């Protein structure tokens, strides 16, 4: 089974379970709408590749970890798009959940996706319950408080922002969770995999800043120029376009050299290189770059 | 340690963990605001009493289960109060979280409380990881989809409502979780404890309907007459005040007779009787009853 098929299958199983018996049909459909067809599935792909590099000896736990990370990610997107946050109308090229369904259903979709994420791990616990507990702790650590994506989003409500904590939590946390949980699912020590995740997360942030500054709404599949509109810190305003691209290269080289020695090391380096290619934006007409 | 002290200590430990290191201070305070000082803690009290009746041989897991249920409950209240749902200004006699803090922080508070709930169980997994996985599954089952409190809330977005599924999920689910998780924390079979939880949940729903119809905002600590305002099904509109009180008595008798034979059976019957006393409203001036 290809990595992509494994990830989609794990997500499909979670969605099918959420629809069993007499359940409110709109929420069931909104859950599916929020998860499928999805974006690049970059976080679970990283998780799966690290698990494989570490031997992937409990594939059910690996699949659960991948699904859990993606479900939490999709849930956070649904809540981030709400009128109280980004008030976004479009996500992945289609109306956001609160636009397509309603604001109550969007809140409930996010809540339910968080719950489903933890549920997937527990469902796979039979093969190794201690590993499942470790995965649960990792997922909670990188999604909740004090340092997960909820904390990251909450920094935007503060007058005094700890910028490094903000970036690490808001974008970096789920990438760090991806490498650590991939290792933990395969019984390896998550600690050795923290730096790889953190660096991919940093790279992703810089790439996202570049895309936000360089691309239009049609290419992005969501509103463009939001960092300037919302006065958010952005690598392009700070370093310029070429400086940001140089920074992206440096981070990805660092990511590759951080990969611990393991049976699947070569394949993993290849994955980071491919991720880098996917992340680095094709530069359009520089005259339209937003750097205000 | 008294049950109340055990429950508050478990919640305090969860809150202290959520505040460690450099974290966004408003979200940390909003979490505490949403959880403390709290209401009657009726769900974790039931959970703890069932665990004790079953021997309570892994008290760390029992405490975690109690904290988890209450954290999920508090999170659901924060989200239910949002403008998109009940648009409530007051909860437990003080401004709701979105009124006291902001709507973004209220969304994040609910999300984080859900995550913290699952985290508490995983933190206690060392003593028995399989039991922890069971507790996680129970919590997910009764809070998410297809039959948990999120599903219950989502029925309110449907034109065609399955009324029995709606009540069971919206109010009953966390009571059923409370008895089942109390049993599971102590290594007993949750199945035997489903009916007790379901019946206490039904009793709570009828008592809540009575209070909503009979009491004013000051006594309730939240807006009164909301069932009539929102045209929600209500036992008082259906059966009248005396009929609803009779129904409450019948349900609680059923609850007591459903208690499985176990070492702590007598203490548990006493708890249900006390819960009944607490639930049954003191009837004020009947002329002001809302039954429209």
Q: What are the tens digits of pLDDT across the range A111-129?
A: 999 999 999 999 999 999 9
Q: How far apart are CA A90 and CA B238, in angstroms?
A: 44
B19-40 per-position pLDDT tens digit: 988 899 999 999 999 999 988 8
Q: How would you label B91-113 residue by residue, b for 16+ Cβ within 10 Å and e otherwise? A: beeeebbbbbbebbbbbbbbbbb
Q: How far apart are CA A178 and CA A194, in angstroms?
A: 9
Average pLDDT, chain B: 91
Cα B88 to chain centroid, rounded:
18
Residues of chain A positioned with their CB less than 8 A from the CB of B22:
146, 162, 165
Mean pLDDT along residues A253-267: 89
Question: Can you give the residue ranges of every domain in chain A?
Answer: 3-288
Mean pLDDT along residues A212-216: 83
Q: Which of A7-21, B11-25, B263-277 has the lowest mean pLDDT?
A: B263-277
| pLDDT of A288 above 60 | no
Selected residue of A13, A24, A172 to mutate for chain B interface (largest B Cβ count, 10 A)? A24
Chain B, residues 127-146, CB within 8 A of chain A, namely 129-130, 132-134, 136-137, 139-141, 143-146
Positive or negative: CA dihedral A138, A144, A146, A149? positive
Query: Pick from B102, B123, B139: which is nearest to A157 by CB?
Result: B102
The set of residues, in sequence order, having a beta carbon less than 8 Å from that of B176 and lying 6+ positions away, is B142, B194, B197, B198, B201
Strand partners, A95: A90
Q: How far apart are CA B3 and CA A277, in angstroms?
A: 57
Chain B, residues 22-51, CB within 8 A of chain A, namely 22-28, 31
A182-200 per-position pLDDT tens digit: 999 999 999 999 999 999 9
pLDDT value of residue B57: 96
Residues of chain B positioned with their CB less than 8 A from the CB of A85:
104, 107
A26/B148 touch (CB, cutoff 8 Å), yes or no: no
Strand partners, B94: B91
A146/B18 touch (CB, cutoff 8 Å), yes or no: yes
Mean pLDDT along residues B108-128: 97
Selected residue of B107, B159, B167 to mutate for chain A interface (largest A Cβ count, 10 A)? B107
- B292 pLDDT tier (thresholds 50, 70, 90): very low
A77-111 per-position pLDDT tens digit: 999 999 999 999 999 899 999 999 999 999 999 99
C-alpha count within 13 angstroms, C-beta hemisphere, residue B216 = 6
Q: How far apart are CA B274 and CA B254, in angstroms?
A: 15
Q: How far apart are CA A89 and CA A95, in angstroms?
A: 6
Predicted ipTM > 0.90: yes
Residues of chain B positioned with their CB less than 8 A from the CB of A108:
79, 150, 153-154, 157
CA proximity to B138, closest of A62, A75, A134, A115: A115
Describe the crossing of helices A59-80 and A173-185 by its angle, rounded to 10 degrees.
Answer: 170
Average pLDDT, chain A: 91
Q: How far apart are CA B190 and CA B142, in angstroms?
A: 13
Mean pLDDT along residues B244-269: 89
Q: Which of A5-9, A110-114, A163-167 has the lowest mean pLDDT?
A: A163-167
| pLDDT of B286 above 60 | no
- B226 pLDDT tier (thresholds 50, 70, 90): confident
| pLDDT of A292 above 50 | no
| pLDDT of A179 above 60 | yes
Residues of chain B positioned with their CB less than 8 A from the CB of A110:
107, 111
CA proximity to A61, closest of A180, A181, A196: A181
CA proximity to A222, closest of A91, A84, A115: A91
B146/A18 touch (CB, cutoff 8 Å), yes or no: yes
Q: How would you label B19-48 residue by residue, b for 16+ Cβ within 10 Å and e otherwise? A: eeeebbebbbebbbbbbeeeeebbbbbbbb
Q: How far apart are CA A229 and CA A292, in angstroms?
A: 9
Size of chain A, expressed as the number of residues it contains = 292
B150/A20 touch (CB, cutoff 8 Å), yes or no: no
Residues of chain A positioned with their CB less than 8 A from the CB of B140:
115-116, 118-119, 122
Query: Pick from A108, A122, A145: which is nearest to B140 by CB?
Result: A122
Q: How far apart are CA A251 and CA A255, in angstroms?
A: 6
CA proximity to A176, closest of A157, A203, A156, A153: A203
First to last CA, chain A: 47
- B272 pLDDT tier (thresholds 50, 70, 90): confident
| pLDDT of A137 above 90 | yes
pLDDT value of residue A236: 87
* Nearest chain A alpha carbon to B19: A146
| pLDDT of A289 above 80 | no
Mean pLDDT along residues A145-174: 91
| pLDDT of A68 above 80 | yes
- B120 pLDDT tier (thresholds 50, 70, 90): very high
Contact A71, A117 (CB under 8 A): yes
| Share of residues in chain A with pLDDT > 90 (%) | 66
Query: Pick from B19, B107, B133: which is nearest to A107 by CB?
Result: B107
Residue A208 Cα, gap to closest chain B Cα (Å): 23
Instruction: Say how many CB pairs under 8 Å bridge A and B.
Output: 205
Residues of chain B positioned with their CB less than 8 A from the CB of A134:
122
Contact B35, B71 (CB under 8 A): yes
The listed CATH number (3.30.360.10, 1.10.1500.10, 1.10.600.10, 3.40.640.10) that belongs to domain B3-288: 1.10.600.10
A115/B144 touch (CB, cutoff 8 Å), yes or no: yes
B119/A140 touch (CB, cutoff 8 Å), yes or no: yes
Q: Which of A55-59, A266-270, B38-42, B224-228 has the lowest mean pLDDT?
A: B224-228
First to last CA, chain B: 47
Mean pLDDT along residues A254-274: 88
Cα A270 to chain centroid, rounded:
20
Check if B159 contacts A (Cβ < 8 Å): no
- Which SS3 state, helix, strand or coil, does residue B94 take? strand
């Amino acid at each position: 089974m290809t990595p992509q098929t494994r990830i989609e299958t794990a997500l499909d199983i979670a969605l099918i379970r959420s629809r069993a018996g007499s359940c409110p049909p709109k929420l069931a459909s909104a859950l599916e709408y929020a998860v499928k067809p999805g974006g690049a599935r970059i976080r679970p792909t990283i998780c799966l590749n690290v698990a494989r590099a570490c031997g992937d000896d409990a594939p059910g736990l690996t699949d659960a970890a991948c699904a859990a990370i993606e479900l939490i990610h999709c849930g956070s997107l649904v809540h981030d798009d709400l009128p109280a946050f980004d008030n976004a109308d479009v996500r992945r090229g289609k109306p956001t959940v609160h636009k397509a369904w309603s604001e109550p259903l969007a809140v409930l979709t996010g809540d339910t996706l968080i719950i489903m994420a933890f549920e997937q791990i527990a469902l796979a616990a039979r093969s190794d319950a201690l590993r499942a507990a470790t995965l649960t702790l990792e997922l909670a650590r990188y999604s909740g408080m004090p340092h997960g994506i909820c904390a990251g989003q909450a920094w935007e409500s503060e007058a005094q922002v700890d910028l490094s904590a903000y970036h690490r939590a808001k974008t970096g946390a789920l990438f760090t969770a991806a490498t650590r949980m991939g290792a933990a699912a395969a019984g390896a020590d998550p600690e050795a995999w923290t730096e790889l995740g953190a660096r991919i997360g940093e790279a992703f942030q810089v790439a996202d800043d570049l895309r936000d500054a360089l691309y239009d709404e049609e290419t992005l599949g969501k509103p463009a120029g939001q960092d300037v509109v919302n006065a958010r810190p952005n690598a392009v305003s700070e370093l310029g376009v070429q400086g940001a691209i140089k920074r992206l290269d440096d981070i990805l080289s660092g990511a590759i050299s951080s990969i611990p020695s393991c049976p699947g090391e070569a394949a993993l380096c290849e994955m980071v290189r491919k991720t880098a290619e996917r992340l680095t934006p094709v530069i359009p007409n520089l005259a339209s770059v937003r750097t205000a």
